[in-house]
Amino acid sequence: MRKLFIFALTLIVSALSVNAKTQVDGIWYILDEENATATVTYGEEDGTYAGRLIIPRTFYYQDENYNPYDYTVTAIGDSAFRNCPNLTGITIPGSVENIGSAITFGSDYIAEVKFEDSSTPIAMSESSFIGATPYSCTYLYLGRNVADNGGVPPFHTWSSIQNVVIGELVTELPLAFCPYCRGLQSVQINTASLLEPGVRTFAFLDEDRPQPDASQIILYVPEGLGDTYLAHSFWGRFNVQEMDYSRQYGIVFVPSYTDFEQNGLFFKIWQDANDPDHKYLAVVIPQVWYLNPDGTYVSQWSSEFPYKQSSVNIPDSVTFYHWYDGRTDRYSGRQESGVYQPLTYKVEAIGDYCFRGASNLTDLHIPNTVKFIGTEAFEYTDKLHYLTIPNSVTEVGWLAFARTGLKEIVIPASSSNWLESDAAFQDNANLTKATFASGTTAIQDRIFFGCTALRTIIIPDEVEYIGPGAFAGCEALTEIHLPASLQVLNNRLFRGCPLRSLEIPAGVIEIEGSALLGTNIAKLTVNPANTVLLSKSRLTNCTVSVRSLCRLTSNMYPNMVS
């Protein structure tokens, strides 16, 4: 009976873990803590969601015990956006794999739906957007393939579509793709691969007297492919027009945010909050609006389209010419003409999200004038294998170098000042070696969290502090040398690392409760000079079995064996 009770209790706890519901940045989720995934769900009352809702790929959340998690949004649950009369648009990230039923039931004014680019097909059904959406949506961005659901195709009833944009990762159009959209005005195809229409794609065009006629519908295609599409039996019926590069990606730059552009980089002048006389430059991503090829705006701010260059050389300073208007001479009253005057500023920052998702970036030079690198500045740069971070960088934002293609990295001693943020190199799946430069005294929280290939970490002896979770989830890390000056093994420091043994340096005076959780360490070796831990163990031998050490320090690791 006791075993049955424990089993039932385990199931209840597991269910609570998987079904925890919380709100983050205005969006409600059901959290799966075990898998660190999240499902978008409905709010506490009708009308929770309004305006153009952009669902993030990932978000950061701390539970009631202040344990930090990074969740990936992988699904949209049934009725997630039900009864939201002020909801006008939804952007679904590429991380979402499944969409439930009736997600927009009762939300009658959704004018645009976007499926962000992804190479993974999304699973949905005809009932996913049941209600008014198929009849109210006028703009559709499809950036991924749609999985065959074996039933009625999901876009079968979408009849109000006026403008369709097909992303560059789409390889096939869904069956019965918008067959009744008689108000269709334009189709924009961003892929260089010729798309074969699915069965009943824009089926109204095959009627004897279709309205509108295909020749009245503009088909925008990438530059150089106009003749190819004109020669196609289906697409050749459209009014085919080639796009220039900016229109292909729907970008329009906003001068109020970007002060000027030079050599393919966009800069903004910032003023030092602590020194009003000090102005400097930040490399920024130009904020953009989604734009139809005819020049009409269709969305809110977005940074979906980052820099496309493969090589970026950030200069240490930039000189540009500023126009000064003429003035009136106070003696003669004569109006002088304006002049251009040169202004030179140092480049001291790389802005938030600046190169996020720059999938072509393979070579990057950061000058030693840069002091600040923003939040997620280089996230998802999967072709960036090597990078030199100058010692001038004293501040980095959250996830600044997360999920890149980095294979090896040398982290400057100035990283000791990065403690205000965390998780700088999180989830770098290809990172195998990391070296902290001589002079480093502190290592930030969760710096290598989830770097599953990381097997070599070199830490100088000057390091006195390593943050919680710094090496958690490093599944290839079997051994490590801890610095002599280290004082505490913080919580979750090696959680999930397959360490076989570990030597505790002489300076360590405390091992926090979950520092070695899930490591399967067979033996801890305490430095003979470590009188604190040796006195706690009441042993004179420098080798302390895990069982003995744990028993004498409040049973911190009860599952470990010597």
H/E stretch holding 547 reads helix 546-551
pLDDT of residue 12: 38
Extract the tokens encoding 503.
């030597």
Burial label for 71, CB within 10 Å (0-12, 13-18, 19+), is buried
Confidence bin at 334 (pLDDT 50/70/90):
low
Query: What size, in residues, is the chain?
Result: 562
Distance, CA of 201 to CA of 238 (rounded, Å): 14
Q: pLDDT at residue 290 above 70?
A: no
Strands 279-284 and 339-350: parallel
Q: What is residue 150's predicted lDDT score, i.e. its pLDDT? A: 78
Q: What is the pLDDT of residue 212?
A: 86
- 373 and 419 share a domain? no
Place of tokens 């439930």: 100
Which CATH number do you get for residue 452?
3.80.10.10
Residue-range definition of the domain harbouring residue 57: 20-245
Do 364 and 268 lie in one domain? The reply is: yes
- Per-residue model confidence (pLDDT) at position 10: 40
Residue 327, pLDDT > 80, answer: no
Q: Which residue has the higher pLDDT, 460 or 520?
A: 460
Cα angle 303-305-308, degrees, rounded to a multiple of 5: 135
Would you give the DSSP letter of residue 214?
Answer: G
403/453 Cα distance (integer angstroms): 12
Do residues 172 and 30 share a domain? yes
Residue 547: per-residue pLDDT: 38
Identify whether residues 217 and 324 lie together within a single domain. Answer: no
Q: Does 56 lie in the same domain as 175?
A: yes
Q: CA 299 to CA 52: how far, in whole Å?
A: 8
Residue 1 within a domain = no
* Residues 124 and 232 placed together within one structural domain of the fold: yes
- With 90 as the cut, is the pLDDT of residue 524 above it? no
Average pLDDT over residues 79-89: 92
Question: Mean pLDDT, to the nearest integer, of 341-369?
Answer: 90
Which residues neighbour 125 within 8 Å (Cβ) at sequence distance 6 or greater? 99, 101, 149, 151, 152, 154
Q: Which residue has the higher pLDDT, 261 or 165?
A: 165
- What pLDDT is recorded for position 352? 86
Q: Please state, in angstroms and rounded to a whole number, the distance separating the CA atoms of residues 546 and 525.
A: 9
pLDDT of residue 255: 43
Single out the residue in 192, 215, 245 at which a domain terminates: 245
- Checking if the pLDDT of 494 tops 60, the result is yes
Tokens, residue 278: 């000090």
pLDDT in tens, 399-424: 999 999 999 999 999 999 998 888 99
% of the chain exceeding 90 in pLDDT: 44
What is the pLDDT averaged over residues 154-178? 91
Domain match, 96 and 224 both: yes
CA distance 260 to 270: 13
**CA-to-CA distance for 349 and 285, rounded, in angstroms?**
12
Mean pLDDT estimate for the chain: 81
Residue 142 lies in a domain: yes
Which residues does residue 20 pair with via DSSP β-bridges, in sequence order? 31
Q: 124-144: buried (b, 16+ CB within 10 Å) or exposed (e) per residue?
A: bbbbbbbbbbbebbbbbbbbb
pLDDT band at 530 (very low <50, low <70, confident <90, very high): confident
pLDDT, average across residues 30-34? 89
- Mean predicted confidence (pLDDT) in 446-466: 95
User: How far is C-alpha 438 from the geometric centre of its chain's CA atoms?
Assistant: 31
**3-state SS assignment for residue 215:** helix
Helix residue ranges, H only, 75-195: 133-136
Mean pLDDT over residues 183-208, rounded? 88
Check residue 31 and give its pLDDT: 92
Q: How confident is the model at residue 561 (pLDDT cuts 50, 70, 90)?
A: very low
Residues 528-552, buried b or exposed e (16+ Cβ, 10 A)? eebeebbebbebeeeebbbebbbeb
Q: Within a domain: residue 9?
A: no
Highest-pLDDT range among 229-243, 493-507, 519-533: 229-243
The pLDDT of residue 534 is 61
Residues 88 and 101: their CA atoms lie apart, in Å, by 19
Angle of CA points 135, 141, 146, to nearest 5°: 90
Per the CB < 8 A criterion, the answer to whether 411 and 433 are in contact is no
Confidence grade of residue 553 (pLDDT, cut at 50, 70, 90): very low
70-79, 282-291, 532-541: which range is least confident on average?
Answer: 532-541
Residue 449's pLDDT band (cuts 50, 70, 90):
very high
| pLDDT at residue 333, as a whole number | 52
pLDDT at 529 over 70: yes
CATH number at 278 reads 3.80.10
Q: Which pLDDT score, from 0 to 100, does residue 560 have?
A: 33
Q: Does 256 reside within a domain?
A: yes
Per the structure, the count of domains in the chain is: 3
For residues 405-416, one letter each, b for 16 or more C-beta atoms within 10 angstroms of the residue's C-beta and e for the rest, the string is bbeebebbbbbb
Residues 258, 133 within the same domain: no
DSSP three-state, residue 226: helix
Mean pLDDT of all residues in 463-481: 93
Higher model confidence: residue 47 or residue 183? 183
Q: Is the peptide bond before 212 cis (omega within 30 degrees of 0)?
A: yes
* Most trustworthy range by pLDDT among 305-309, 451-455, 521-525: 451-455
Whether 399 maps to a domain, the answer reads no
CB 134 within 8 A of CB 160: yes
**What pLDDT score does 273 carry?**
77
Does some domain include residue 11? no
What pLDDT is recorded for position 559? 34
Give the whole-angstrom CA distance, residue 77 versus residue 43: 12
More confident residue, 44 or 316: 316
The better pLDDT of the pair 103, 320 is held by: 103
What's the pLDDT score for residue 68? 63
Closest CA to 347 of 327, 324, 320, 329: 320
Instruction: Examine the domain organization and report whether 179 and 269 are in the same domain.
Output: no
What whole-number distance in Å separates Cα of residue 108 and Cα of residue 549?
Answer: 64
Instruction: Examine the fold and report which residue of 194, 210, 245 is the final residue of a domain before the chain moves on.
Output: 245
**Between residues 117 and 160, the one the model is more confident about:** 160
Q: Is the domain of 367 the same as that of 265? A: yes
Q: Is the pLDDT of residue 298 over 50?
A: no
Distance CA 201, CA 187 (A): 12
Residue 394 lies in a domain: no
The pLDDT value recorded for residue 38 is 94
Whether 83 shows a pLDDT value over 50: the answer reads yes
* Spatial contact of 448 and 495, defined as CB atoms under 8 Å apart: no
Label residue 244 by pLDDT band (50, 70, 90). low
Q: Of 223, 245, 267, which residue sits at a domain end?
A: 245
- What the block records as the tokens of 100 is 């439930």
Q: Tell me 14's DSSP state.
A: H
Distances (CA, A) of 496 to 26, 57, 186, 210, 517: 32, 25, 52, 62, 7
d(CA 152, CA 175): 9
Q: What are the structure tokens assigned to 71, written together?
A: 């969740």
Tens digits of per-residue pLDDT, 115-125?
988 889 999 98
Looking at residue 324, its pLDDT comes to: 57
Position 552 pLDDT exceeds 90? no
Residue 539: pLDDT band with limits 50, 70, 90:
very low
Whether 69 and 126 map to the same domain: the answer is yes
**Residue 325 above 80 pLDDT?**
no
Do 524 and 418 belong to one domain?
Answer: yes
Cα gap 188→374, rounded to integer Å: 34
pTM (whole model) above 0.95: no
Alpha carbon of 560 to those of 252, 520, 556: distances in Å?
Answer: 58, 6, 9
Among 211, 209, 201, 212, CA closest to 234:
201
Given a contact cutoff of 8 angstroms between Cβ atoms, the answer to whether 75 and 96 are in contact is: yes
Contact 349, 280 (CB under 8 A): yes
According to the model, what pLDDT value does residue 521 have?
79
Rounded distance, CA 137 to CA 541, Å?
74
**Domain annotation covers residue 134:** yes
pLDDT of residue 549 exceeding 60: no
